[in-house]
Amino acid sequence: MTWTKWSYMDHWVTQTPQGPLPPQFNRAYMDRYLKQLAATGFTGFDTFFFTLPALAGMYGSLAGFEQRLREVGMEKITGLFTAYPSATAYTAPHVRETHDRIFADCEYTANAVDGLAVENFIVMPSSTYYQTEPVTDDKIKAMAELWSRVGEMTLARGMKTTCHFEFWGAIRTREQLDLFFQYADPETVFFFCDTAQHTIAGVDPVQMFRDYRDRCTGFHFKDTHTVDTNEAYRTPPDPEMMAPGVDRWFYEMGTPGGLVDFPALMREIVTSGYDGWLTVEHDKADTFGGSYAEATCVAKWYIDNVLAEAQAEAEKELSTR
């Protein structure tokens, strides 16, 4: 049986009477968006912390929003994404003096989804590399302390705090990743595998999953065509949108030139016994006139055809062991 727990990370732009805008434009557009995802076979919905007020406003409450998800054929909000990409005087995960503020923010967000069955509280564990460097052992330890504390709080609310690493973040190399997970509480801090981000940073996402299987609680399935070999990751003011020489880092699955070995990852997932959500993320799919809708369909075609075959192969191999 093909994998049924596919969720979609909420990046989307659609054409509205006021020009291209996210579907949170109004409830009618949001409804269309949800139906579009449901039609394609996604049943989980991942979104950002800052979207929650708009969803609650349009649907009366977040419970009302989840009810609408079920009405169109989806299941629930599966993940909530929060981040402090820019280090500020108030919030910088590597600065212990800002931890109380970050913790309070996270507690506020976690409380907002109280009563729902959100599974992942997805965080960027660091701010930008260039604002954090030199990246020292102690700074990584400080970040691990913060997310261990937040993880304990979210776990008490039924959500796993799970760390999503950026190629431009302060924890990016395999050594830094390993050190972070050594310091972070294994009971409260989990791993979220973004296939493109790790690949850009020169880290093999399949090997990361293999090594951190027991702490892995989710994935962003997205592709890239470029490994950062020119230290774009440490380039101010923003490596993700403004890196010299790279106009677009992220692609949907199934494009020519994609570097992520998704079939290998899928086989590894099946073999490992992982049974959680797999999330498709299309980050900046509208670069150069692309369409989020089409990128989503093309990725789902890849899931239904290429990944389904990889899954079947792995299951067959398992059954013959």
Partner 1 sequence: MKDTLRWAYALNQWNYRMDVFVRHEHQLRALKTASALGFDHLELSSGMGGRWDNLGRPEVILANHGDVAGFRRFLAQGSIAGISSIFWDPGLPTEEEGYAFLMSLDPSQHERIAAAARPYLDFLSAAGGEQLVVRPVASAWMTGPLDDDAIGRVAALWNRVGELARASGIGLAVHYDCLSGIHSRAQLETFLSATDPALVGLALDTAEFTIGGIDPVGFYRDHADRVTHVHLKDTRFADTGEEYLMPGAEATMLNGGGGRRIERWFFELGTEGGLVDVRAFVSELRAHDYPGWVVVESDHGGEPAELVMLNSWYVQKELGASR
- Give the shortest CB-275-to-partner 1 separation in angstroms: 22
In DSSP notation, 177-226 reads: HHHHHHHS-TTTEEEEEEHHHHHHTT--HHHHHHHTGGGEEEEEE-EES-
Residues 6+ away with beta carbon under 8 Å from 319 = none
Minimum CB distance to partner 1, residue 252 (Å): 10
Q: How far is the CB of 31 from partner 1 (least distance, A)?
A: 10
DSSP 47: E
Distances (CA, A) of 207 to 161, 211, 233, 256, 292: 21, 6, 21, 23, 29
Nearer to partner 1, 38 or 216 (CB): 38
Residue type, 123: V
Quote the least distance from Cβ 89 to partner 1, whole Å. 42
Q: 65 vs 233, which CB is nearer to partner 1? A: 65
Shortest distance (Å) from residue 317 CB to partner 1: 24
Handedness of CA 311, 313, 316, 321 (dihedral sign): negative
| Of residues 98 and 296, the one with the C-beta less far from partner 1 | 296
Which of 38, 260 has the CB closer to partner 1? Answer: 38
Of the candidates 117, 12, 134, which has an alpha carbon nearest to the alpha carbon of residue 62?
117
CA–CA separation, 246 and 226 (whole Å): 8
Name the residue with tokens 């579907």.
23
| Residues that bind partner 1 in the complex, under the rule CB under 8 A | 14-15, 28, 32, 35-41, 72-73, 254, 256, 291, 293-294, 296-298, 300-302, 304-305
CB of 1 to partner 1, least distance (A): 14
